[in-house]
A and B are shown apart, each in its own frame.
Chain A
Amino acid sequence: MQRKQRLSRQIAYFIPYILWIGLFVIAPVVLLVYQSFFDINGHFTLSNYQTYFSSNTYLTMTLNSVWYAFLITFATLVISYPTAYVLNATKHPQLWLLLIIMPTWINLLLKAYAFIGIFSQAGIANQFLHFIGIAPQQILFTKFSFIFVAAYIQIPFMVLPIYNSINELNPSYVNASKDLGATSWQTFSKVIFPLTLPGVKAGVQAVFIPSLSLFMLTRLIGGNKVITLGTAIEEHFLTTMNWGMGSTIGVILIIAMVIIMSLTGGSKRRAKRGMTK
């Protein structure tokens, strides 16, 4: 009797959370998929998908978006892996890690805004180019600036998981490999890198998926030269008000996300910031 009472009270505690799952996790996704079957006049139709798959513009945009996300992820990885590796060997790795992660606490829009100043015509980047004898370039509103700023923003999210996996690596494997006569490069490519691959995968997941949807950067930094899936969704929802088409692209983005997650395995992305965050 008492047990039953306790059980029902436990269910009562659980109600708000279950409501949240129903209303804010399941319902919105279902509505997004549902919306993708309506055209701009509110008629039920498959035409959004038809348009998407028969239009060169949409398909190239998707490929471009994936390509840029790949470039951003690659650049981030190339910078972050050595960082995480070196970080692990310092005397105070926790302190360094905190310092590397701290910039993520600064609002993303402010960081993007900083680059508007840095990359502008007469900005400090061009002043530096002038100083080393190169004529000023158009840096802002180029594809390069978009990739640069996106990589800049995502570096900490890549460093963190890689650092964790290097930290977990048992040093006796490395010693064994060296004792058995492997060169540093062999030790790295045959022992260290394969063993830290889970961290790399987690990092790739944490960077690749947001890179498909960074619409504020394409607007502020890319000057609309780069159009990602996120930009297209934002455009359809808030500018042209064609929610059906926007939802269709949203469904494509969700599919892309699922593919990436199954390729990189695991499900926890972006243990954002902080020590565990």
Chain B
Amino acid sequence: MKIHNFKWRNLYLWFVFIVLYAPIIFLIVYSFSKGDTMNNFHGFTWAHYQDLFADSRLIAIFLDTLLIALLSSILATIVGTLGALGISQTTRAITKNTLLSLNNILMVSPDVIIGASFLIFFTALKIPLGFGSVLLSHIAFSIPIVVLMVLPKVQEMSRSLLDAAADLGANSWQLLSQVTIPYIMPGILSGFFMALTYSLDDFAVTFFVTGNGFSTLSVEIYSRARQGINLEINALSGLMFLMALILVIGYYFINQYSSRHRHANTRGHRK
């Protein structure tokens, strides 16, 4: 009876698992198909990948997307980390809660609202739409996740660590760079990582603030998908799947690193 029950459960899980992955695998399989529809597999070819690499417009967009992702996540990580340090130093509970609620507004708002309100904002300030506006938006919507990733680490750090360093004559820059930053590094790394994926994934906000000349991969895929099936997009999805896989593995190792780090710390305490 119990074994029987167990099997049904696993079957359901496998079913959900297959449903979740089928469309992705379907896309990638057809990136290798001759012909130009996703209906019947016509035999193996690399042609769509060759098209992809010969498509200089798409490659330029790909590089722009990466550049935006890297720049925005680095800047968001800096501002977010400083913000988390600031929030942890506020003494009054009400200030802290207000700051945290304000921090969460962009996490909770639907993308359309963020996109539309940023569009009004940039227009009001006469900031031209394009690379700059997209970069600013990506920095803006990545900051809150960095704060949420870094803040627990900052709060976990014991006050006496800083006092000890100060007693030993460290100035405030040394306190920050030699004590605080190394301690909260795992949080900073996961924050950076989240910011990177937020930026790479974003479509709606970018779509609003991108203007005419500039495009990111998501926006480009959207406009091509509106014109129908084009197996070059399938080839692109194959590459992006690989990239996502690398990111997942990267994230996994960061987590491993931070848990090892934590272990080492607690062991140190016990000694």
Give residues of chain B (172-211) contacting chain A, Cβ–Cβ below 8 Å.
172, 190, 194, 197-198, 200-201, 203-204, 207-208
Whether B120 contacts A238 by the Cβ 8 Å rule is no
Most buried by B among A10, A110, A253: A110
Which residue of chain A has its CB nearest to the CB of B21? A103
Residue B39 is within 8 A (CB to CB) of chain A in the complex: yes
Q: A117-B30, A257-B110 are in contact. Are A267 and B104 (CB under 8 A)?
A: yes
* CB contact between B86 and one of A17, A23, A122, A209 (< 8 Å): that residue: A17
Give residues of chain A (129-177) contacting chain B, Cβ–Cβ below 8 Å.
152, 155-156
* CB contact between A25 and one of B106, B172, B241 (< 8 Å): that residue: B106
Whether A21 contacts B102 by the Cβ 8 Å rule is yes
Give residues of chain A (208-241) contacting chain B, Cβ–Cβ below 8 Å.
209-210, 212-213, 215-216, 219-220, 229-230, 233-234, 237-238
Q: A10-B86, A109-B203 are in contact. Are A267 and B225 (CB under 8 A)?
A: no
Q: A31-B124, A86-B12, A269-B108 are in contact. Are A112 and B225 (CB under 8 A)?
A: yes
Whether B105 contacts A25 by the Cβ 8 Å rule is yes
State in angstroms the CA–CA spacing of A275 and B208 once bound together. 30
- Flag A18-29 by CB within 8 Å of B: 1 or 0 each: 101101111111
Residue A6 is within 8 A (CB to CB) of chain B in the complex: yes
Interface extent on B, as a size class? 35 or more
What chain A residues lie within 8 Å of B157 (beta carbons)? none
Residue A83 is within 8 A (CB to CB) of chain B in the complex: yes
Whether A79 contacts B16 by the Cβ 8 Å rule is yes
What chain B residues lie within 8 Å of A103 (beta carbons)? 20-21, 24
* CB contact between B240 and one of A110, A120, A127, A257 (< 8 Å): that residue: A110
Residue A13 is within 8 A (CB to CB) of chain B in the complex: yes
Whether A105 contacts B143 by the Cβ 8 Å rule is no
What chain B residues lie within 8 Å of A21 (beta carbons)? 99, 102-103
Residue B44 is within 8 A (CB to CB) of chain A in the complex: no
Whether B120 contacts A269 by the Cβ 8 Å rule is no
Number of residues on chain A facing chain B (CB within 8 A):
88
Which residue of chain B has its CB nearest to the CB of A271? B148
Residue A47 is within 8 A (CB to CB) of chain B in the complex: no
Whether B112 contacts A250 by the Cβ 8 Å rule is yes
What chain B residues lie within 8 Å of A35 (beta carbons)? 120
Of A48-56, A94-102, A188-196, the stretch lying at the interface with chain B is: A94-102
* CB contact between B116 and one of A6, A102, A107, A233 (< 8 Å): that residue: A233
Q: A99-B17, A103-B21 are in contact. Are A118 and B113 (CB under 8 A)?
A: no
Whether A25 contacts B102 by the Cβ 8 Å rule is yes
Which residue of chain A has its CB nearest to the CB of B124? A31
Which residue of chain B has its CB nearest to the CB of A230? B112
Whether A17 contacts B110 by the Cβ 8 Å rule is no
What chain B residues lie within 8 Å of A89 (beta carbons)? 9
Whether B27 contacts A113 by the Cβ 8 Å rule is yes
In the complex, 16 of the A-B residue pairs with CB atoms within 8 angstroms, ordered by the A residue number, are: A16-B82, A21-B99, A31-B120, A106-B24, A109-B225, A110-B24, A117-B26, A220-B225, A233-B113, A246-B116, A247-B120, A253-B112, A257-B108, A273-B197, A274-B194, A277-B194
